[in-house]
Amino acid sequence: MRDLSFLRAVLLALLACAAPACRAAHAYAQFGDIKYPPGFTNFSYVNPNAPKGGEIRMVPPTRPTNFDKFNPLTLRGTAPYNIGGLLLESLLTGNSEEPTTAYGLLAEDVEVAADKLSATFRLNEKARFHNGKPVLAADVVHSFKTLISKEAAPQFKTIYAEVKGAVAVSERVVRFDFATPNPELPLVVGGMAVFSRDWGVVDGKRKPLDQIVSEPPIGSGPYKLASLAMGRDITYVRDPKYWAVDLPTRKGFFNFDRVTYKIYLDETSRFEGLKAGEFDFLREFISRNWARQYTGKQFTSGDLVKRAFENKNPGDFQGYIFNLRRPQFQDIRVRKAIGLAMDFEWMNRQLFYGIYKRVNGYFPNSEFHAEGLPKPDELALLEPLRSKLRPEVFGEVPVSPSTTPPGSLRENLRQAQALLKEAGWTYRDGALRNTKGEAFVMEFLNDQPGLVRIVGPFQKSLEKLGITMTYRAVDFSLSKQKMDAFDFDITTTRLPGSTAPGGELLDRWGSAAAKTPGSSNVWGIADPAVDALLQKVVTAKTRPELGAAMRALDRVLTHGYYSVPQYYGDAFLIGYRPRPFVLPPVIPPYYEADTWAMSTWWASESNK
């Protein structure tokens, strides 16, 4: 349950305050920048007159697996892809143009107190759940209390840790009270999933959330489930009575009558499915496939299109990650040495056809990426933490090892060997051993068959150091269970870049999350300096303050060598069937390809 993107898809906007409280507003910007005025009709990157109808069939960009529940808000089990995004809605919603601005959805307006210790939302009278009942303040309060309870996935408690409570002021007015004047908190609660109090009620008795499995959420979103059968594929059908169809924040969105996500358990059958017309849209993540497979008659004739969609998104972080709970990874010299064994330049040349860029730090290709020596605004945040930081943090930020001449893998391995020796690991009796004579062995946990060819060269380099890295292939369900329980040595992960980072980082790197099963802090990082910088991130009042806090955080994390940075791409690699679809003329700057296509494309006449 690490996919909480729907909580970050909504951002708020702070307007100028008068007397004791801010006036209620149609939008809320964290840093005061609102593009669309009151009474706007639609966002500029959609077609407000797009016809409804037809179907789009896609493959989820996540790991392929069956689903065994319809509840996306609990820890155990796997829910179908995008069920939260299509069935559940929030008080406010963001857009793909303004990183830190959001507009009313379930809420007609939002009012933030002058002391920033509360936010009040007035619900739209037209808002309706799928069962026909109105969305009321009591439903919002119920949703909040349920999400912070033991019944929900435990990371929700981390996300809402600074929210003191929710109060139904009247039938359609709800107020959230905050423990601190954190400017991000209104956007956190504004992005909370709201569901009906009737969900899970049977014969007048309500089931605990963690016992709701086969009943889909009673939400207010644009789609419902087409079938209640568990399995692989999932189809959503557009609600013809969708309450918000003409709302400015929904005009031109969700044009397909049916949205289907199909699951293929291997790359070959997935691509053959695209060619056979079993689905229409595929985001490719493997460079070898992109270079070799997307050719032939269907691409030449135009029946299929191969296209790289540009964007201004921050780069994704991808890398090998260490489980710091394991004793062999607790020495920073060991982690740094292992990082020296990866030869990105060789892989990019021999395996990736030169299309990737090396990841440096955790926020590549963004304003949050730290470079060189700390700048004055970073130093202002780091100096009070000097006693908690390694001296190296105040020097040059580390750059990922390179084998570009005059560098070489051999030289990098020599440096690694020296670091391991300093840490008490020496080669003897056919293996790298510590002072107790224990061999250095670690297990790579993987649920992606395509990674075998990428991990192989890394394994061989580690063998030269005397380190044995075994390879354990598991399916997604088992992988999720083990990751939720932090039961792994080393694995790989991809963290999507964000234009508006905030509270979700507490779940990713905060000390409390390190002990919370199912949290995003799979590393187990528990560092008071990181915690302090995370607070600076979530309390930033201006964009420059946010940038400084993020760069300082990036610097500290990078100096910790908690990961072995890998690579990222700066465009979406998409294969799709063009004739059934019409694309909007404007591509927004910040978007996820799959969500953009599903929510803003529409069906041509031949697809209806």
Over residues 548-568, mean pLDDT? 97
Q: Is the CB of residue 496 less than 8 Å from the CB of residue 592?
A: yes
Taking residue 179's Cβ as centre, other Cβ atoms within 10 Å add up to 12
Q: Is the CB of residue 254 less than 8 Å from the CB of residue 599?
A: yes
How confident is the model at residue 20, as a pLDDT? 31
How confident is the model at residue 502, as a pLDDT? 86
Cα separation, 145 vs 309, whole angstroms? 41
Q: Which part of the chain is CATH 3.40.190.10?
A: 8-260+579-607
Longest dimension (CA), the chain: 76
Q: Is the CB of residue 521 less than 8 Å from the CB of residue 514?
A: yes
Residue 168's contacts (CB-CB under 8 Å, 6 or more residues apart) are 136, 137, 138, 140, 141, 174
Cα separation, 447 vs 266, whole angstroms? 11
Q: Is the CB of residue 488 less than 8 Å from the CB of residue 323?
A: yes
pLDDT digits (tens, 9 = 90+) for 188-215: 999 999 999 999 999 999 999 999 999 9
pLDDT digits (tens, 9 = 90+) for 452-466: 888 999 999 999 999
pLDDT digits (tens, 9 = 90+) for 258-274: 999 999 988 889 999 99
Strands (E), 324-366: 357-358
Residue type, 275: K
How confident is the model at residue 344, as a pLDDT? 96
Instruction: Tell me the backbone φ, ψ of residue 146, rounded to 5 degrees.
Output: -70, -40
Over residues 57-82, mean pLDDT? 91
Cα separation, 150 vs 378, whole angstroms? 38
Q: For domain 317-568, which CATH number applies: 3.40.50.80, 3.10.105.10, 3.40.50.300, 3.90.1150.10?
A: 3.10.105.10
How confident is the model at residue 42, as a pLDDT? 97
pLDDT digits (tens, 9 = 90+) for 596-605: 999 999 999 7
How confident is the model at residue 8, as a pLDDT? 39
Cα separation, 606 vs 238, whole angstroms? 19
Torsion over CA of 12, 14, 19 and 24, rounded to 10 degrees?
-40
Cα separation, 131 vs 396, whole angstroms? 58
Q: Is the CB of residue 521 less than 8 Å from the CB of residue 355?
A: no
How confident is the model at residue 607, as a pLDDT? 63
* Rg value, the chain, Cα: 25
How confident is the model at residue 99, as a pLDDT? 84
Structure tokens at 402: 């390179």
pLDDT digits (tens, 9 = 90+) for 327-343: 999 999 999 999 999 99
How confident is the model at residue 541, as a pLDDT? 85
Count of alpha carbons within 13 angstroms of residue 43, beta-carbon side = 26
Cα separation, 400 vs 364, whole angstroms? 12
Three-state DSSP string of 397-425: CCCCCCCCCCCCHHHHHHHHHHHHHHCCC
Question: Which has the closest alpha carbon to 439: 471, 473, 474, 470?
Answer: 470
pLDDT digits (tens, 9 = 90+) for 88-124: 999 999 999 998 888 999 999 999 999 999 999 999 9
Q: Which residues of 362-390 are buried (b: 16+ CB within 10 A; e: fewer)?
A: bbbbbebbbeeebeeebeebbeebeeebe
Q: Is the CB of residue 95 less than 8 Å from the CB of residue 9?
A: no
Q: Which fold has domain 8-260+579-607?
A: D-Maltodextrin-Binding Protein; domain 2 (3.40.190)
Say which DSSP state 571 is in: E
Q: Which part of the chain is CATH 3.10.105.10?
A: 317-568
Over residues 227-234, mean pLDDT? 90
pLDDT digits (tens, 9 = 90+) for 130-171: 999 999 999 999 999 999 999 999 989 988 999 999 999 999
Q: Is the CB of residue 216 less than 8 Å from the CB of residue 242?
A: no
Structure tokens at 555: 């610097």
| 282: confidence class by pLDDT, cuts 50, 70, 90 | very high
Q: How far is CA 400 from CA 287, 391, 467, in A?
A: 21, 19, 21
Instruction: Tell me the backbone φ, ψ of residue 236, rounded to 5 degrees.
Output: -110, 140
Residue 6 predicted with pLDDT over 70: no
Over residues 565-572, mean pLDDT? 90
Cα torsion 22, 27, 29, 33: sign: negative
In terms of pTM, does the model score above 0.75?
yes
Residue 19 predicted with pLDDT over 70: no
Structure tokens at 224: 């419902």
How confident is the model at residue 363, as a pLDDT? 95
pLDDT digits (tens, 9 = 90+) for 416-439: 999 999 999 999 999 999 999 999
Over residues 479-485, mean pLDDT? 92
| 447: confidence class by pLDDT, cuts 50, 70, 90 | confident
Structure tokens at 509: 């790197």
Over residues 60-65, mean pLDDT? 79
Torsion over CA of 80, 85, 86 and 90, rounded to 10 degrees?
140
Cα separation, 135 vs 139, whole angstroms? 6
Over residues 270-298, mean pLDDT? 93
Cα separation, 160 vs 168, whole angstroms? 18
What average pLDDT does the structure give for the chain?
Answer: 92
Structure tokens at 385: 């933490």
Residue 445 predicted with pLDDT over 50: yes
Residue 552 predicted with pLDDT over 90: yes
Structure tokens at 510: 């905060």
How confident is the model at residue 88, as a pLDDT? 98
Q: Is the CB of residue 556 less than 8 Å from the CB of residue 393?
A: yes
Pairing of strands 55-58, 258-261: parallel
Torsion over CA of 459, 463, 465 and 469, rounded to 10 degrees?
60
Over residues 291-304, mean pLDDT? 94
Taking residue 357's Cβ as centre, other Cβ atoms within 10 Å add up to 15
